[in-house]
Amino acid sequence: MAFGAWRPRLLLKAAVWRRSSYADAPSNGIPTASNRYGYDLRLMSARSYLAEHMSPRTYSVARLPLRVLPSRRQHYARQARIENALGFKQDRIVRRGPFAGMHYTDDSFGSSLAPKLLGSYELELHEAIEQMIACQDIKTVVNVGSAEGYYAVGFALRCPEASVYAYDSSPFARRLCRRMAVLNGVADRVLVSGRAGPETLRRVVGAGSLVLSDCEGCEKALIDPSTVPELLEANMIIELHDFVDPTISSSIQRRFEGSHNVELVDSRLRDPAIFRDPLERLAPADRAHALEEGRPGPMQWAVITL
């Protein structure tokens, strides 16, 4: 489709989402606890809409109107400057962390790219991930909300005997995930699919499974042993979205406290000094920004182990 044919439609759609982003009732049907988070979700939805209707190459041009919305222009300009200064345009390889050496695709879906390539992304979980890889016989990895494949492809590399099931509702995220699996030579073990419901989990989860969930508040309905009893045999890392529903954390804890060890892990501020070597190329004001993951606020994860 020619640029002129879809550009007015795109700009109108983006403008409508932006105008409604400060309303109490979200127009996209996703419950929100803050207007900022609601706006971020609408921006992600706009990108998904674009990706569903055009090729990845055309998408890279089509998303430009979204990038110049006033509330995001400064953020994207700064991110691009940081990525260029760190050499990420030429060398897209994860520097450190549990997936060091992983080759990366040219985009990150739903979160910032720089922390993933630096190896600081979800630093709070690195110890738990290493323990699970070292101590557990992981046969199956089930990643709900896989985005571009940071965890799906990363675990495929670290657990060469495991089968990986990656689920994401975004067509663009799924294309990125497949591309990254190819880049890292694990495409034969990473099965990428769309939405995952309880029936999906019943089919793929079992003994030796590791379940990773980041499904924007749907974890309360999905991660439930009363509908998916196979979860009682699995280890899990669940990102909790209590700003969507304040009862999520307590519900997840209560469901697994009798069968698993449940540890709640809180997000924490990043110390740029830990990553001094790569960040010394940046201006001091940009060093902390390079480690920001694009989250709406403090986060929490449930690390659930047998």
Q: How far apart are CA 24 and CA 15, in angstroms?
A: 17
Whether 3 shows a pLDDT value over 80: the answer reads: no
Which of 246 and 276 is assigned the larger pLDDT?
246
Each residue's pLDDT tens digit, 43-62: 444 555 555 555 555 555 55
Residue 134's pLDDT is what? 93
Q: For residue 68, what pLDDT is reported?
A: 47
pLDDT of 110 reads: 84
How far from the centroid of its chain's Cα atoms is residue 270's Cα? Answer: 18
pLDDT of res. 54: 55
Residue type, 56: P
Task: Give residue 82's pLDDT.
Answer: 86
Average pLDDT over residues 249-255: 97
Q: What was the pLDDT predicted at 73?
A: 63
Rounded to whole angstroms, how far apart are CA atoms 272 and 294? 16
Q: Identify each DSSP E strand in 73-218 by its residue range.
A: 140-144, 163-167, 190-193, 209-213
Residue, of 5 and 116, whose pLDDT is higher: 116
Structure tokens at 166: 């990656």
Nearest residue to 238 via CA among 149, 146, 303: 303
Alpha helices in 136-237 (DSSP H): 150-158, 171-183, 198-204, 219-222
Q: What pLDDT sits at residue 15?
A: 41
Look at residue 87 and tell me whether its pLDDT is greater than 60: yes
Mean pLDDT across the stretch 100-119? 91
Residue 265 has a CB neighbour count (10 Å cut-off) of: 18
| Joined tokens for residue 119 | 């190896």
Is pLDDT above 60 for 145? yes
Whole-angstrom distance, CA of residue 154 vs CA of residue 98: 8
- The mean per-residue pLDDT over the stretch 206-211 comes to 97
Reported as a pLDDT band with limits 50, 70 and 90, residue 1 is very low
pLDDT for 163 = 97
Whether 220 and 249 have beta carbons less than 8 Å apart is answered as: no
pLDDT band at residue 31, thresholds of 50, 70 and 90?
A: very low
* 169: number of Cβ within 10 Å: 15
Residue 66 has pLDDT above 80, yes or no: no
Tokens (6 digits) for 122: 């979800």
Which residues have a Cβ under 8 Å from the Cβ of 166 and sit 6 or more positions away?
Answer: 143, 146, 149, 152, 174, 177, 190, 191, 192, 193
Summarize pLDDT for 125-139 with one digit per residue, the tens.
999 999 999 987 899
Residue 104: phi and psi, rounded to 5, are -110, 150
Paired residues of 103 in beta bridges: 93
169 to each of 1, 51, 190, 197, how far by Cα in Å?
24, 12, 16, 11
Q: What is the largest CA-CA distance in the chain?
A: 59
Report which secondary-structure segment, H or E, holds 161: none
**What would the mean pLDDT of 72-97 be, rounded to a whole number?**
81
152 vs 44: CA distance, rounded Å: 20
Beta bridge partners of residue 210, listed in sequence order: 141, 235
Residue range 163-204, pLDDT digits in tens: 999 999 999 999 999 999 999 999 999 999 999 999 999 999
| pLDDT tens sequence across 215-243 | 988 999 999 999 999 999 999 999 999 98
Q: Domains of the chain, with CATH numbers?
A: 3-68 (no CATH), 121-269+292-305 (3.40.50.150)
CB 216 within 8 A of CB 31: no
% the chain with pLDDT above 90: 56
Tell me the pLDDT of the chain averaged across its residues: 82
pLDDT at residue 59 in the model: 53
